[in-house]
């Protein structure tokens, strides 16, 4: 697993910390990165505060192979992500001619490009644009940092346009096996199994469906043979408790 590049996501916006909005972007990007063989190693939810964002961008672009941000690239005063990323990289924030042309598609004349809207054409010097097929105002890439919109539909469209810029390892494969056996009973044998398969990540997620108590055992590895072996071992373990294992699609490897 160590050859897979790592990523960190910075989810930017006071509304995510105040409880007003629930993030939906981390799960999307995390699942897509799995399929591309990149490991989402950490995420941070940050307020709209310059010093906090600048520090996090600089810490994370050093620490991880890729950094993806969501939020804070709109036309209002609380959209400060582009300015913060420019500051983090120590470069000027510039109005981008190409971004202006893209944005103009939304309007019948240049007179509609208010100062607020022109703010959306500002990117750090040296950045490459990220296209926005939904509402045209672009994101951008500078170094290993990819700056995208917070609105899920736009973020997803932006991300699908940049996958060829990412270099991944072997795609992460996963399998989920449901077992109507309490975790307190399976816990010991599962720990033994993890020792036997140190190269397979084994997660246990309890469920309670009516009177049925059990856990979903999720196996993750890039090696299809080891995945099959570990899955067989889990199925045998579940069967040894007199219960039929329920194999389900985990849905991690594709878009969700």
Q: Which residues bind a copy of itself (CB under 8 A)?
A: 13-24, 26-32, 34, 40-48, 52, 74-78, 112, 114-117, 119, 151, 172, 174, 183-188, 190-191, 194, 201-206, 215, 218, 220, 250-252, 256
Residue 238, CA atoms < 13 Å, CB-side half-sphere: 22
Minimum CB distance to a copy of itself, residue 53 (Å): 11
Rg (CA), the chain: 22
Asked if residue 66 lies in contact with residue 10, where contact means CB atoms within 8 angstroms, the answer is: no
Minimum CB distance to a copy of itself, residue 165 (Å): 20
Minimum CB distance to a copy of itself, residue 140 (Å): 19
Q: Is the dihedral of CA 102, 74, 165, 25 positive or negative?
A: negative
Specify the residue, 117 or 226, whose C-beta has the smaller distance to a copy of itself.
117
Minimum CB distance to a copy of itself, residue 24 (Å): 7
Phi, psi of 105 (to 5 degrees): -55, -25
Specify the residue, 123 or 142, whose C-beta has the smaller distance to a copy of itself.
123
Buried residues in 51-75 as b, exposed as e (16+ CB within 10 A): eebbebbbebbeebbbbbbbbbbbe
Specify the residue, 15 or 131, whose C-beta has the smaller distance to a copy of itself.
15
Minimum CB distance to a copy of itself, residue 228 (Å): 20
Specify the residue, 81 or 142, whose C-beta has the smaller distance to a copy of itself.
81
Minimum CB distance to a copy of itself, residue 77 (Å): 4
* Residue 204, both tokens: 């246990």
Name the nearest CA neighbour of 85 among 130, 115, 136. Answer: 130
Specify the residue, 90 or 198, whose C-beta has the smaller distance to a copy of itself.
198
Q: Is the dihedral of CA 178, 184, 189, 192 positive or negative?
A: positive
Specify the residue, 132 or 174, whose C-beta has the smaller distance to a copy of itself.
174
């Amino acid at each position: 697993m160590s050859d897979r590049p790592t990523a960190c996501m910075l989810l930017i916006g006071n509304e995510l910390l105040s409880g007003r909005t629930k993030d939906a972007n981390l799960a999307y990007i995390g699942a897509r990165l799995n399929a591309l063989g990149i490991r989402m190693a950490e995420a941070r939810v940050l307020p709209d505060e310059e010093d906090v964002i600048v520090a996090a961008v600089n810490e994370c672009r050093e620490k991880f192979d890729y950094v993806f941000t969501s939020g804070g690239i709109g036309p209002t005063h609380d959209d400060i992500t582009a300015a913060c990323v420019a500051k983090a990289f120590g470069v000027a924030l510039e109005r981008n001619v190409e971004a202006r042309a893209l944005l103009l598609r939304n309007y019948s004349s240049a007179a509609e490009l208010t100062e607020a809207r022109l703010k959306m054409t500002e990117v750090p010097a040296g950045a490459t644009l990220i296209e926005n097929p939904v509402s045209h105002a672009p994101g951008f890439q500078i170094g290993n940092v990819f700056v995208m919109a917070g609105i899920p539909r736009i973020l997803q469209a932006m991300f699908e346009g940049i996958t060829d810029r990412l270099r991944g390892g072997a795609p992460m494969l996963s399998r989920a096996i449901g077992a109507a056996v309490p975790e307190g009973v399976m816990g010991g044998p599962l720990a033994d199994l993890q020792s036997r398969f140190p190269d397979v990540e084994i997660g246990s997620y309890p469920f309670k469906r009516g009177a049925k108590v059990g856990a979903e055992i999720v196996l993750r590895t890039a090696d299809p043979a080891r995945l099959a072996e570990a899955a067989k071992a889990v199925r045998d373990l579940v069967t040894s408790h007199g219960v039929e294992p329920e194999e389900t699609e985990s849905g991690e490897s594709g878009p969700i």
